Amino acid sequence: MEDDEVETPERPTTWRRVRRVAYVVLSLVILVPLAAFVVAYLVLDVRSPQEVLAGLDKTAGLAYTDGSEMMKVVPEDGDRLYVRYADVPPKLRDAIIAVEDPTFWQNEGFDPLGILRAAVTGVGGGSGITQQYIKNATGADQASYFRKFSELVLSTKLTQQRSKEEIFESYINIISFGRGTFGPASAANAYFGKPLADLTWSETAFLAGMIQSPSVHDPAASSHEHASRRWDYVAEKLVTRGYVSEAERAEMRYPGDAVVPPAETRAGRLTYSEYHVKRRVLAELESHGFGLDRLRQGGLRIETTLDRQAQADGEKAVAEQLAGQPNHLRAALVAVEPGSGAIRAYQGGNWGVRDYAGVPQPPGSAFHPFVVAAGLRQGENLDRKYPAPDRLDYGGRVVKNEAGCGAPECSVRDAVRGSVDTPFVEMTRRFGAVAVSQAARDAGIPADLDGTPTLREPDGVTIGPGIAVGAYPVRALDLASAYGTFAADGLRTQPYFVQRVLDDEGTVLWEHETTATPAIEPQVAAGVTEALRREDGVAKAGSHRFGDTGDNAGAWLAGYTDRLSTVVWVGADEERRLRDAANNRITGETLPAAIWRAFRR
C-alpha cells in the first residue's frame, strides 16, 4: 500500500507539469506577437500623402564611372498634379483595383490569402493597395520581415483611421506611372495627351498596367508587343472580377496608336541620346528592386558603367561621320568591356525616342564569326576551303556574293575577310544550323527578346537557312557583348549599365558583381580573333541587303580591342536603299567603318 500511495500522485503531477509548459508556450506564441503588434501599432505612424509628395523633391543622380554627374532623375513641372478621389474616373479606379488589390473594399488593410499565395507560389509580393501606399509613404523597400510586419501593422492602423476612399486617394497620388509622372492626371497627359476624364476603358486598362513596373511596361521602354501583353492581362482581370462584361471586353482594343512619344520625360532637359541611356539604366535598376519611387524618395546616387570620354567620343564619331549625309540615315554605337560586361559607351541615336542600339536588325556577314566558331569547335581550321559560287539556292533562299575569292573555293580565312557568303552556306550545312545557333548563344546572343525566341523562324522553333548569312535580327548591344566574349578568350559576361547604388550619405546599397562564365573554348575564341584580324584591327563588316536591288538596307562594323568590343550600325527608320551623299552604295566598310575607326579606343 505504501508503494501505491507513492505512485498514485506521481502521474497527475507529471501531467500537470506538461500542461503548464504547454500553456506557457501557447501563451508566448499568441501573446508575444500580439504584444509586438500592439506596441508597433502605438509607435509606428504613416505620413500624409502631402508630406510624401513634398519629399519627392529629392532627386536621384546618375553618374559616370569617374563620379562626375551625368544627369538627374527628376519629375517635370506639372508631373505631380494631385487628384481628389471624386475626380478619379470610375473606370480607372476599377481597373487599378482589379489588377492591384481585388479585395481592397473588403479587407482590413491587407489580404491574408494574397500574402499566403505569394509565400507559397513565389509569384507576386502579396501587397495590396494599402500596403503599397505604406511602402511608398515610408520609402522602405528592403526585403525584410520587419518591413513586411510594419506594413501589416500600419495597413491595419490606416484602415481603422481613414476611409477606403481616402486611402485610395492617397495611394493613387504618390505612385509612379512611369515617364516621370506621379498621379493619374499627369500620367494621362504623358501617355495619351488628354485630360483624365476623357480616358476610355482601353486607356484606363493601359495606365493600370503601368503601375507594377512602368520602366518595363512602357512601350517606349520595351515594345508595343510587350505592352499589349500586359494590357491583355489587365483587361482579362476586369472581366474575371466583374468590372467589364464579355461583350464590353470584345469591344476593347489595345490603345497602342494613341500612346504619344514620352516627350515629358525629356522636356528640354535631356537629349534623345541621354534619354535612351536613362531608360536603360532605370529598367535595369527596377530589375534589382530600385523602382522610380524608391530612387526619388531616397535621393539615391547611381554610378553607371558609362565612361564620360567614351560616351562623348561615341556621340562625336556618329555626329561627325553623318554630317552632310542624307537626313534619313540613322546610326547606333555600343561599346562593351570584354571580361566584365560593363557598357562604356551607348549611343541609341539622337533622332527621337526610338533606341536604335536596342532595335534588332539583320547583321549580315557580321554574323559569320559564329559560323566559324561552330566549325572550330568541330575540329575545322581557318585554311579549310569551301565552294564559293557566285550564287546558290539554300532552302529556298538565294545567296549571292558581294565579292569572290578569285577562285571556285575560298578558305575560311579568306571568306571571312572578303565577306564571301556562299562558303558559309556550305559550312552551316556541314556543321549544322543548331551548332551555329548554339555558338551564337554561348557567345552572348540571348535566347529570346521580350519572350520572342531569337535566331529562329517566326514559329520560334525552326532554324532556317538564313542563319548562315546573318538574316536573323540581333541588337547592336547583344552583338557587342558576343564579340566581347571572343575578345575575352571565351569568357562570357552579361552586359550591364549600373555599377552601384548609394544613398545620400554615400553608403553602398547595392553593387554589381561580375560573373564571367567560360562559354567559348579559348582556342576557338583565338581562332575567331585570328580570322577577324585585319590592317585596322580585329573587326568584321556586315550588311543586310535590300531585296534584289544590289543595295543594302542596313550596314554594320563590329570589332574589338583588348579594351572594348564595339559595334556600329547604320540604317534608316524603314528599310530602303542606302546611299551616301555622293550616291555611293553604303556597306559596312563605308560609314559604319568610318564611325568605328573614329571611335576606336
Instruction: Give the count of beta carbons closer than 10 Å to the beta carbon of residue 384.
Output: 16
- The rounded Cα 154 to chain-centroid distance in angstroms is 33
Q: Residue 470 in contact with residue 363, Cβ under 8 Å?
A: yes
**CA–CA gap between residue 88 and residue 91 (Å, rounded):** 8
Rg (CA), the chain: 30
Dig out the grid coordinates for 135 from the structure.
Answer: 511602402
SS3 call for 216: helix
DSSP string computed for 490-534: TEE---BSEEEEE-TT--EEEE-----EE-S-HHHHHHHHHHHEE
Regarding beta strands 176-178 and 452-453, do their DSSP bridges make them parallel or antiparallel, or are they unpaired?
unpaired
Helix ranges (H only) for 162-256 are 164-174, 184-192, 201-210, 214-217, 224-240, 246-251
| First-to-last C-alpha distance (Å) of the chain | 103
Three-point CA angle 464, 468, 469, nearest 5°: 110
Helices 164-174 and 90-100 cross at an angle (nearest 10°) of 90
**What is the biggest distance separating any 2 CA atoms in the chain, rounded to whole angstroms?**
123
Q: Residue 234 in contact with residue 243, Cβ under 8 Å?
A: no
213 belongs to the catalytic site: no
User: Taking Cα atoms as reference points, which of 414, 100, 30, 417 lies closest to residue 243?
Assistant: 100
100 belongs to the catalytic site: yes
Phi, psi of 377 (to 5 degrees): -65, -25
SS3 call for 256: helix
Catalytic pick among 150, 170, 186, 365: 365
- Within 8 A by CB and 6+ apart from 576, the residues are 328, 546, 553
Q: Which of the residues are catalytic?
A: 100, 365
